[in-house]
C-alpha cells in the first residue's frame, strides 16, 4: 500500500502531467501561450456556480482556511481545480453564470454543486453544462467573426488548446444507492443498470466536446462514497458494513467499480479519438487515505465525544495536504 506522502503527492504529479500536456500540446510557442481551462462537474469543482445560478450563500466555515470569506465553494479552502490553476500560474476559474467580476481569459467553470450526469436535461446536469460551453464557444467565435475580437476572452486557438476537466458522478452514485436501499434494487442492480447509464453520459460529454474541438481532457474518478459524512449519518441496523477506517464497505466497493469502468472508457476513447489526450485520475485512493490516515494531515483540535449512533466530525488544524481534511466517524 502506498504511503500517505506518496498518495498526497499523486495529485501534484497528476497536475504537473496535465500542465505539461496543456503547455506542450503542439510545437507552436509553448512557453508563451496563455493556459485555458474549462471545468465541468459538481461540488468537487464548483467555484461559485451554485451561488451565481441560485443566489445561494455558503457562510463560514466554508472558505475559512484560505480565502477567509465565503466564495461559493462547498469547501473550507481550495478545490483541486484551484490547485491546478495555481500550478499553471493562472487566475482561479470564474463560474460561467457569475455576471459580475468574472474573468474568462483563462477559461470558465461550468460546474454546479449537486449536479448529476442523469437525467441529462435537468439543470445543471453534465449535458446541460456541455451545452452551455458550446453556446459560450459559438458566441465567442461569432463575435470574432463580426469584428469584436477584443471583447472575446478566448479565441479559436484558446479553445483548441484548452484543458477540459470533468469531475462528476458522485451525486449519481449516491442517489442510486439511496434508491436501492428503499426498493428492490440491490448492489448488483446499481452496478449493472445505473452505473453504465451514468458513465454513458460522461462518455457522451467527452465525445461531444471532442467533436467541438476539444483535445486535452482530465477526467476524475469519484471518491470513496462510503466515507461521506452524509452517508455515515444515515441510520443503519448495525455496523457490520463498516471497515477499519469507519467507512461503509459496500458503498466504497461501488465507487471502485464505477472508477474501474470509467478508466476503461477513457482508455478506449484515447484509442478511438484521433489526436485526443485523456488523462484519467482515480482520486478514490487519495481521498480514502485522508480518512484512513487522517492524523498524518493535521493536529486534532478536540477529541470526539462518545455519542451513541451520532455522527462525529473531527476537524484538523494546520492541514498538511493540498486537500483539507474532514473526517466523519461513528463512536
Name the residue among 216, 212, 139, 203 with its Cα closest to residue 169.
Answer: 203
Q: How confident is the model at residue 18 (pLDDT cuts 50, 70, 90)?
A: low
Residue 188: pLDDT above 70? yes
Q: Which three cell numbers stand for residue 208?
A: 461531444
Quote the pLDDT of residue 31.
55
The domain spans of the chain are: 4-330
d(CA 189, CA 198): 13
Mean pLDDT of 180-207: 85
Count the neighbouring beta carbons within 10 Å of the beta carbon of residue 323: 21
Secondary structure of the chain in HEC code, one letter for each residue: CCCHHHHHHHHHHHHHHHHHHHHCCCCCCCCCCCCCEEEEECCCCCCCHHHHHHCCCCCCCCCCCCCCCCCCCCCCCCCHHHHHHHHCCCCCCCECCCCCCCCCCCEEECCCCCCCCCCCCCCCCHHHHHHHHHHHHHHHHHHHHCCCHHHCCCCHHHHHHCEEEEECCHHHHHHHHHHHCCCCCCHHHHHHHHHHHHHHHHHHHHHHHHCCCCCEEEEECCCCHHHCHHHHCCCCCCCCCECCCCCEHHHHHHHHHHHHHHHHHHHHHHHHCCCCEEEEECCHHHHHHHHHCHHHHCEECCCCCCCCCCEEEEEEECCCCCCCCEEEEEC
Are the C-beta atoms of 225 and 177 separated by less than 8 Å?
Answer: yes
Quote the pLDDT of residue 316.
43
Quote the pLDDT of residue 62.
86
Are the C-beta atoms of 90 and 145 separated by less than 8 Å?
Answer: no
The answer to whether the bond into 249 is cis (omega within 30° of 0) is no
Does the domain spanning 4-330 belong to CATH 3.40.50? yes
Residue 70: pLDDT above 80? yes
pLDDT in tens, 278-293: 999 999 998 999 888 8
Quote the pLDDT of residue 253.
95
Q: How confident is the model at residue 26 (pLDDT cuts 50, 70, 90)?
A: low
Lowest mean pLDDT across 69-83, 261-275, 287-301, 317-331? 317-331
- Higher-pLDDT residue of 94 and 33 is 94
Quote the pLDDT of residue 299.
59
Q: How confident is the model at residue 328 (pLDDT cuts 50, 70, 90)?
A: very low
Task: Choose from 20-34, 71-85, 195-209 the range with maximum mean pLDDT.
Answer: 195-209
Quote the pLDDT of residue 6.
43
pTM of the model: 0.85
pLDDT in tens, 107-166: 999 999 999 999 999 999 999 999 999 999 999 999 999 999 888 999 999 999 999 999
Amino acid at each position: 500500500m502506498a504511503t500517505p506522502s506518496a498518495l498526497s503527492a499523486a495529485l501534484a504529479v497528476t497536475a504537473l502531467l496535465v500542465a505539461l500536456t496543456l503547455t506542450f500540446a503542439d510545437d507552436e510557442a509553448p512557453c508563451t501561450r496563455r493556459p485555458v481551462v474549462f471545468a465541468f462537474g459538481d461540488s468537487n469543482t464548483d467555484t461559485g456556480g451554485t451561488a451565481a445560478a441560485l443566489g445561494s450563500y455558503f457562510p463560514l466555515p466554508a472558505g475559512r482556511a484560505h480565502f477567509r470569506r465565503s466564495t461559493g465553494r462547498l469547501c473550507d479552502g481550495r478545490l483541486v481545480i484551484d490547485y491546478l490553476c495555481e500550478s499553471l500560474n493562472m487566475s482561479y476559474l470564474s463560474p460561467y453564470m457569475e455576471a459580475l467580476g468574472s474573468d474568462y481569459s483563462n477559461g470558465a467553470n461550468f460546474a454546479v454543486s449537486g449536479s448529476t450526469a442523469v437525467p441529462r436535461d435537468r439543470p445543471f446536469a453534465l449535458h446541460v453544462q456541455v451545452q452551455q460551453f458550446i453556446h459560450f464557444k459559438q458566441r465567442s467565435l461569432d463575435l470574432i467573426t463580426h469584428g469584436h475580437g477584443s471583447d472575446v476572452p478566448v479565441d479559436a486557438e484558446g479553445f483548441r488548446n484548452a484543458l477540459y476537466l470533468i469531475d462528476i458522478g458522485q451525486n449519481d452514485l449516491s442517489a442510486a444507492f439511496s434508491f436501492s436501499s428503499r426498493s428492490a434494487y440491490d448492489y448488483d442492480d446499481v452496478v449493472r443498470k445505473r452505473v453504465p447509464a451514468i458513465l454513458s453520459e460522461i462518455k457522451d460529454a467527452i465525445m461531444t466536446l471532442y467533436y467541438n474541438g476539444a483535445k486535452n481532457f482530465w477526467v476524475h474518478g469519484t471518491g470513496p462514497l462510503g466515507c461521506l459524512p452524509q452517508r455515515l449519518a444515515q441510520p443503519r441496523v448495525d455496523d457490520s458494513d463498516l471497515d477499519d477506517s469507519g467507512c461503509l464497505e459496500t458503498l466504497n466497493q461501488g465507487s471502485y467499480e464505477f472508477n474501474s469502468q470509467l478508466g476503461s472508457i477513457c482508455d478506449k476513447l484515447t484509442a478511438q479519438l484521433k489526436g485526443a489526450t485523456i488523462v484519467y485520475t482515480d482520486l478514490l485512493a487519495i481521498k480514502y487515505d485522508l480518512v484512513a490516515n487522517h492524523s498524518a494531515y493535521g493536529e486534532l483540535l478536540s477529541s470526539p465525544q462518545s455519542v451513541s449512533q451520532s455522527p462525529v466530525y473531527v476537524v484538523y488544524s494546520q492541514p498538511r495536504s493540498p486537500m483539507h481534511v474532514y473526517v466523519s466517524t461513528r463512536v
